[in-house]
């Protein structure tokens, strides 16, 4: 309909208006040429007297001309208390300059639609309500501005419901992102304050934080709770207990009742509530915070008690209602589940860490020329392991590895692989051959894992492992190494140069059926430091950092643990040695006077010469008579076997280290065999006698032949007391 079809209709105003108010209101009528009939007038009157929608007419000075007296906001107010007053003096709008927004509509004519404000009648101690406001400018046909029409709809319940939904979504997104029960409580209070409550407190059963099963409801009165989180919108909030405090809940109070029947409590807090005398510290904190409403929600899971959430509202905030109570049930259920998941992780982590500690060596095995120390493994990577293995001939095997996976499964698999390496090292295998056999063992474990029942989640986890195995020879100053995966040691030489000897890269253990491994040899002069880690990122950082490793030569006369501590202190946050298995080894030159070697002709007369030279050397080392006699007999039998069955060259070597080692090398490849000779046999007892007199014996093969070795304890050797 065109503009020419509209007519101005004059409406008489029943009440006196301010001098500046317009005498009439111009209302557009959709039926041209007709006066406003009685039905239209009745409709206007009904809107102002009966409609639940708030309706206000304002003049150009933003003073109220007429108001709907039937709205909740007008209850208890007379029309005379409103008409003629500026809108800012009638209603108190919280959090914004509502008058400025209204004046913008008056100046521009652009309507303000669906704007949500928090308001209440000014000067009245009523609850602040949410109102959806629409502001329209009124004009006559000539375009003259007459005033404003303001409508308001109370949408408090809708906004509260919407806010509850937002809070619940926020809690579901934010709570449970970590595996720490204490952090879970902090995530909850951050999500609900100030969006849902003014003060929030989370208290968890102390045993749950240690990974124990939560107790059944009702919670026993002697169960300690630990306050894990507290948050308040006030700058200096009062507290009954600090975060981290372990305490008992005296009863009966709303808190103990909620933990007894597992039903949330909504409590209107009176200053003289009878249960305040039962818990004075908490009562004093409530009074100091001027809290007027409490919602105590138990953290419960399958009829067990995990903890308690206490929510408070203070000041002008509305008290908690039934809708809030239902929301608290949802929040508590989600939080309890997250805390229980964290508890299960904590328990598994604790068990895995315990298993890892029990499966790893307590202290390293060190020789005279190789001093080693371990950096503690905290259990962050329970599949990581380290080991040092004393081998024959003053040699030491250094092993570091890491198994894929996490938790107890990774820890137990790590223990299996470490046991396999220990067993294989007793055969004096070369590093590449040992890793090849370790790969076979890993593949067998992977096959067993794949045969688990279909419902076992471990079946779907691929079993792989990284490992580096190195043998340090103190007498030659060399190190032979082979690796599976990306692990390699750091070598810090006396001139402070840091290098990473890169062995021919072998595949990860268990990754392929055909796994060729190769070894590499490199020199490690006296005064060098070797660092093995199970984390390639940690190795790379230590190699590039100008930190303590380049100052390692300065630690030559200090305890090796000092260097370990310096390494830990120099690491940046997030790159901790506690997450990896680490071995630090310091190399010393082997004393020349504690090793003797001779070469003999392959003839029977050499046996007597070998016994004489052995006797003289043992006398110089002040070895006791019994050990010296046994050693002569061992040397006699081993040299005799080498003369009879071996090939040149024939060498004898004595090593005075933590044990007394006898080694006889010949060029033959035939393996000796321990025999139990019959009574009538004239021979066959030599190796048997040597094995009986020695603490251990074995055969070691090399490109030049084989070495038969025996070890005997030295009673005078001082025990290794290093930690």
Question: Which class is 3-154 in CATH?
Answer: alpha beta
Predicted local confidence at residue 606, as pLDDT: 92
Would you put residue 421 in left (φ > 0), alpha (ψ -120 to 50) or beta? alpha
Asked if pLDDT for residue 124 goes beyond 70, the answer is no
* pLDDT for residue 503: 62
Q: Side-chain half-sphere of 469: how many Cα atoms within 13 Å?
A: 31
* CATH number, domain 361-587: 3.60.40.10
DSSP strand E in 545-683: where?
582-587, 595-600, 650-656, 659-666
Q: What pLDDT shows up at residue 379?
A: 63
Instruction: Tell me what pLDDT residue 8 has.
Output: 41
Highest-pLDDT range among 295-309, 452-466, 507-521: 295-309
d(C-alpha 194, C-alpha 414), whole Å: 48
CB 694 within 8 A of CB 663: no
Residue 533 CA, chain-centre distance (Å), reads: 21
Mapping DSSP onto H, E and C, the string for 697-721 reads: EEEEEECCEEEEEEEEECCCCCCCC
What pTM does this model have?
0.69
Q: Do domains 361-587 and 592-713 have the same CATH topology?
A: no
Q: Is 44 left (phi over 0), alpha (psi -120 to 50) or beta?
A: alpha
Helix, strand, coil content of the chain in percent (nearest 5)? 35, 25, 40
> Which structure tokens are listed for 453?
């029942």
Per-residue confidence (pLDDT) for residue 577, from 0 to 100: 67
CA angle 664, 667, 668 (to 5 degrees): 95
pLDDT at residue 716 in the model? 58
In the chain, what is the straight-line distance between the N-terminal and C-terminal CA atoms, in Å?
Answer: 98
Sheet holding 291-301, edge to edge: 246-247, 225-232, 199-205, 304-314, 291-301, 265-268
Sheet of 112-121, strand order: 64-67, 54-58, 145-154, 129-139, 112-121, 91-94
Measured CA to CA, the distance from residue 1 to residue 399 in angstroms comes to: 92
Domain 159-348: what homologous superfamily? GAF domain (3.30.450.40)
* H/E stretch holding 616: helix 605-620
Structure confidence by residue, pLDDT tens digits, 535-593: 888 888 888 888 788 888 888 888 888 888 888 888 887 776 667 889 999 999 899 89
pLDDT tens-digit series, residues 394-420: 999 999 999 988 888 888 899 999 999
pLDDT beyond 70 at 651:
yes
Is residue 251 scored above 90 in pLDDT?
no
Question: What is the CB neighbour count within 10 angstroms for residue 411?
Answer: 28
Would you state the structure tokens that stand for residue 432, as one six-digit string? 């590449």
Establish whether the linkage from the previous residue to 601 is cis, with ω within 30° of 0.
no
pLDDT for position 674 = 64
Tell me if 126 sits within 8 A of 156, measured CB to CB: no
**pLDDT value at residue 523:** 92
Neighbouring residues of 92: CB distance < 8 A, sequence distance ≥ 6: 119, 120, 121, 122, 123
Integer angstrom CA distances of residue 380 from 292, 359, 411, 615: 45, 15, 11, 54
Mean pLDDT of the region 222-231 = 92
CA distances from 599 to 547, 648, 697, 711 (A): 47, 10, 21, 20
Predicted local confidence at residue 18, as pLDDT: 44
Two structure tokens written together for 663: 């080694």
478-484 and 465-473 as β-strands: parallel, antiparallel, unpaired? antiparallel
Mean pLDDT of 273-284: 89
* Among the listed residues 462, 207, 447, the one whose alpha carbon sits nearest the alpha carbon of residue 347: 207
pLDDT at 74: 63
Q: Is the pLDDT of residue 524 over 70?
A: yes
Q: What is the mean pLDDT of residues 317-346?
A: 90
Q: Which of 285-289, 328-332, 574-578, 638-642 has the lowest mean pLDDT?
A: 574-578
Which pLDDT score is estimated for 336? 93
Q: What is the pLDDT of residue 13?
A: 41
pLDDT of 620 strictly over 90: yes
Q: What does DSSP say about strands 659-666 and 650-656: parallel, antiparallel, or unpaired?
A: antiparallel
Residue 76: pLDDT band by 50, 70, 90 thresholds?
Answer: low
CB atoms within 10 A of CB 213: 13
- pLDDT tens sequence across 135-149: 888 888 888 888 888
SS3 for 570? Answer: helix
* Residue 521, H or E segment: strand 519-523
- What's the gap between Cα 633 and its chain centre? 60
Tell me the average pLDDT across 522-534: 91
Report the distance separating Cα 18 and Cα 521, nearest Å. Answer: 104
Determine the longest span between alpha carbons in the chain, in angstroms: 146
Whether the bond into 53 is cis, omega within 30 of 0? no
CB 199 within 8 A of CB 237: yes
Tokens of 549: 């490793």
Q: How high is the mean pLDDT of the chain? A: 83
**Residue 7 pLDDT > 50, yes or no?**
no
What value does the mean pLDDT take over residues 425-436?
A: 92
d(Cα 109, Cα 94) in Å, to the nearest integer? 25
- The DSSP annotation for 22-45 comes to -S-EEEE-SSTT----HHHHHHHH
- pLDDT at residue 455 in the model: 78
Residue 334: per-residue pLDDT? 93
Measured CA to CA in angstroms, residue 452 lies from 224, 411, 455, 460, 465 at distances of: 41, 18, 8, 9, 20
Q: What percent of the chain has pLDDT over 70?
A: 87
Whether pLDDT at 207 is above 70? yes
Q: What is the pLDDT of residue 504?
A: 64
Spatial contact of 487 and 509, defined as CB atoms under 8 Å apart? no
- CA–chain centroid gap for 340, Å, is 15
Question: Does the structure show a pLDDT above 50 at 3?
Answer: no
Q: What is the pLDDT of residue 9?
A: 41
If you average pLDDT over residues 105-118, what whole number do you get? Answer: 87
Q: HEC profile for 372-400?
A: EEEECCCCCCCCEEEEEEEECCCEEEEEE
Tell me the HSE value of 421 on the side-chain side, using a 13 A CA sphere: 29
**102-116, 304-318, 478-492, 664-678: range with lowest mean pLDDT:** 664-678
Q: How far apart are CA 340 and CA 358, in angstroms?
A: 27
∠ CA 653-688-472, nearest 5°, is: 35
- CATH top-level class for 592-713? alpha beta
**pLDDT value of residue 418:** 92
- Per-residue model confidence (pLDDT) at position 598: 95
The mean pLDDT of 235-242, rounded to a whole number, is: 82
Residue range 257-265: mean pLDDT, rounded: 91
Domain ranges in the chain are: 3-154, 159-348, 361-587, 592-713
User: How confident is the model over 21-75, as pLDDT tens digits?
Assistant: 433 344 444 444 444 467 777 777 777 777 778 788 888 888 888 887 666 666 6
Rounded to whole angstroms, the Cα distance separating 388 from 370 reads 11
């Amino acid at each position: 309909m065109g503009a020419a079809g509209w007519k101005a209709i004059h409406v008489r105003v029943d009440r006196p208006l301010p001098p500046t108010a317009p005498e009439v209101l111009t209302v557009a009528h959709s039926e041209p040429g007709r006066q406003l009939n009685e039905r239209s007038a009745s409709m206007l009157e009904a809107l102002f007297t009966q409609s639940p929608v708030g309706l206000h007419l304002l003049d150009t000075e933003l003073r109220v001309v007429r108001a709907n007296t039937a709205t909740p906001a007008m209850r208890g107010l007379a029309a005379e208390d409103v008409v003629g007053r500026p809108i800012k003096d009638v209603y108190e709008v919280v959090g914004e300059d509502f008058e400025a927004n209204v004046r913008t509509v008056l100046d521009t004519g652009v309507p303000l639609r669906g704007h949500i404000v928090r308001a209440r009648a000014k000067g009245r101690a009523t609850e602040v309500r949410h109102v959806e406001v629409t502001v329209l400018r009124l004009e006559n046909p000539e375009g003259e501005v007459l005033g404003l029409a303001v409508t308001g709809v109370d949408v408090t319940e809708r906004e509260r419901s919407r806010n509850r939904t937002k809070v619940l979504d926020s809690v579901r997104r934010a709570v449970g992102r970590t595996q720490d029960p204490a952090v879970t409580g902090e995530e909850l209070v951050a999500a609900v304050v100030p969006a849902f409550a003014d003060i929030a407190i989370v208290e968890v059963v102390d045993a749950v934080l240690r990974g124990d099963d939560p107790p059944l409801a009702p919670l026993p009165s002697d169960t300690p709770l630990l306050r894990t989180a507290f948050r308040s919108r006030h700058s200096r909030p009062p507290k009954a207990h600090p975060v981290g405090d372990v305490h008992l809940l005296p009863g009966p109070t709303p808190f103990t009742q909620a933990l007894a029947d597992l039903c949330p409590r909504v409590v209107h807090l009176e200053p003289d509530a009878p249960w305040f005398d039962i818990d004075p510290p908490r009562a004093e904190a409530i009074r100091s915070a001027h809290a007027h409403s409490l919602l105590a929600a138990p953290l419960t899971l399958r009829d067990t008690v995990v903890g308690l959430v206490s929510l408070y509202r203070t000041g002008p905030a509305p008290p908690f209602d039934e809708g809030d109570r239902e929301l608290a049930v949802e929040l508590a259920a989600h939080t309890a589940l997250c805390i229980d998941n964290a508890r299960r992780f904590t328990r598994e982590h604790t068990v895995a860490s315990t298993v890892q500690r029990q499966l790893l060596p307590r202290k390293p095995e060190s020789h005279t020329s190789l001093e080693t120390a371990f950096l503690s493994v905290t259990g962050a990577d329970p599949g990581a392991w380290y080991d040092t293995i004393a081998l024959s001939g003053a040699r030491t095997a250094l092993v570091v590895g890491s198994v894929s996976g996490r938790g107890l499964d990774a820890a137990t698999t790590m223990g299996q692989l470490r046991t396999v390496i220990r067993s294989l090292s007793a055969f004096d295998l070369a590093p590449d051959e040992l890793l090849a056999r370790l790969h076979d063992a890993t593949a067998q474990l992977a096959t067993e894992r794949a045969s688990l029942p279909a419902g076992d989640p471990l079946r779907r986890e691929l079993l792989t492992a990284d490992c580096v195995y190195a043998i340090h020879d103190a007498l030659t100053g060399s190190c032979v190494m082979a690796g599976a995966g990306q692990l390699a040691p750091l070598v810090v030489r006396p001139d402070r140069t840091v290098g990473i000897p890169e062995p021919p890269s072998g595949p990860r253990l268990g990754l392929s059926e055909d796994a060729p491994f190769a070894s590499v040899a490199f020199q490690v002069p006296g005064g060098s430091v070797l660092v093995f880690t199970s984390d390639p990122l940690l190795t790379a950082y230590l190699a590039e950092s100008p930190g303590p490793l380049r100052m390692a030569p300065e630690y030559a006369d200090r305890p090796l643990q000092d260097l370990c501590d310096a390494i830990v202190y120099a690491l940046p946050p997030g790159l901790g040695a506690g997450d990896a298995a680490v071995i630090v080894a310091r190399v010393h030159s082997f004393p020349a006077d504690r090793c003797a070697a001779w070469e003999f002709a392959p003839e029977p007369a050499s046996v007597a010469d070998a016994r004489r030279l052995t006797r003289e050397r043992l006398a110089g080392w002040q070895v006791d008579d019994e050990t010296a006699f046994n050693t002569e007999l061992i040397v006699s039998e081993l040299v005799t076997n080498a003369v009879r069955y071996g090939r040149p060259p024939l060498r004898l070597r004595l090593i005075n280290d933590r044990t007394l080692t006898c080694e006889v090398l010949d060029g033959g490849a035939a393996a000796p065999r321990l025999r139990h000779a019959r009574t009538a046999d004239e021979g066959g007892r030599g190796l048997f006698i040597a094995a009986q007199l020695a603490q251990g014996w074995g055969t070691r093969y090399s490109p030049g032949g084989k070495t038969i070795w025996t070890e005997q304890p030295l009673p005078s050797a001082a025990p290794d007391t290093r930690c």
